[in-house]
Structure 1
């Protein structure tokens, strides 16, 4: 089932995602994020990030090789897209070489916990593969995947050895998404 879902996710062109982080991850200052993403790596949405000990709500647009973000005050600031990787790069989600398709294809010891319209599968994801999606992972990760009847990944919950949890939710597969840089 996970290999079918991996194959199905490789063809996804757009998706709406949510990310929720429970606990502190040393390499990921994002606490939660909500946005739209294209397979080309363009994304727009909102996030809560920890910066200098403060939790900040930001709005972001990632397109054309640039990251545009707006904090609680002022307008958008433009930075090279590489800066997104220092916070969390959502384009990794649909990247076939390191995103959810790779995670699903690499999962080991899969056990189906329930099946139906949405199947729940528990598995272990090797640390190097999981780190492509969630930076800073340094050990194999216990994971729970929810896969719908169309083999689309609806959610992935990663439980890290230190007790932290990262929950990624996916909806609105292949619905039109337009990402344009702010004026």
Structure 2
């Protein structure tokens, strides 16, 4: 077999492997992922915000979360022009938080919604499952152990997960082979980006109020 023939075969194989027609349907992947995420009971999450979002003072967060809305972790929050690192525990209808010094301050859990409420992530009515099932114009960019799907999220749906969003956003979803959402990157028309990462699905999580 000539070298030229080998090259032609290699190019044909490469073309067939990367052809968009061979990729699974994006809308189907997102639908399966939405259904899978509705059954998740616990997760470890990260949030990173690139740019200024007036209704989201959190710059980044790292914590554990239950489907019941309990959570614990750390966050960097902009308050009164200062970037503060805090530890928090959200449980029993209360939010407990403390800065680098001093003990915990306890307020109603409703206060969390004025900063950022991580319990929204697993909320089936406004969290990632809702975002996945409501996304439009889904296109699969790659497929394998991790599938990448780009789509548009309607502004009212996106705002349920990221408060203050006033326009449809471009989203890039990474899904694992079990249809779980590994990450979601939201890109706002005004340039800001919000990156949410999810790991450790359904691993035991215990959240108790600090003493």
Task: State the number of aligned residues.
Answer: 183
Matched, 1:48 2:73: no
Q: 2:130 aligns with which of 82, 87, 102?
A: 102
Matched, 1:122 2:150: yes
**SS class of match (1:142):** strand
| Cα distance in structure 1, aligned partners of 2:190 and 2:55 | 14
Matched, 1:168 2:196: yes
The offset of 1:72, in angstroms, is 1.5
The offset of 1:144, in angstroms, is 0.1
Q: Deviations over 1:102-143 (max 9, x none)?
A: 000000000000000000000000000000000000000000
Query: Highest Rg: 1 or 2?
Result: 2
Calculate the aligned-residue CA RMSD, in Å. 0.3
Q: Which residue of 2 aligns with 1:111?
A: 139
Structure 2: segments with no counterpart, 5+ residues: 1-28
Q: Deviations over 1:29-50 (max 9, x none)?
A: 0000000000000000000000
**SS class of match (1:93):** helix
State how 1:13-52 maps to structure 2 within 5 Å.
13-52=41-80
| Cα distance in structure 2, aligned partners of 1:109 and 1:162 | 20
Q: Which residue of 1 aligns with 2:163?
A: 135
* TM-score of the aligned structures, taking structure 2 as reference length: 0.86
| Cα distance in structure 1, aligned partners of 2:131 and 2:56 | 18
Q: Which residue of 1 aligns with 2:187?
A: 159
More helix by share: 2
* TM-score of the aligned structures, taking structure 1 as reference length: 1.00
Q: Which residue of 1 aligns with 2:113?
A: 85
Q: Which residue of 2 aligns with 1:149?
A: 177
Q: Deviations over 1:15-65 (max 9, x none)?
A: 000000000001000000000000000000000000110100000000000
The offset of 1:73, in angstroms, is 1.1
Structure 1: segments with no counterpart, 5+ residues: none
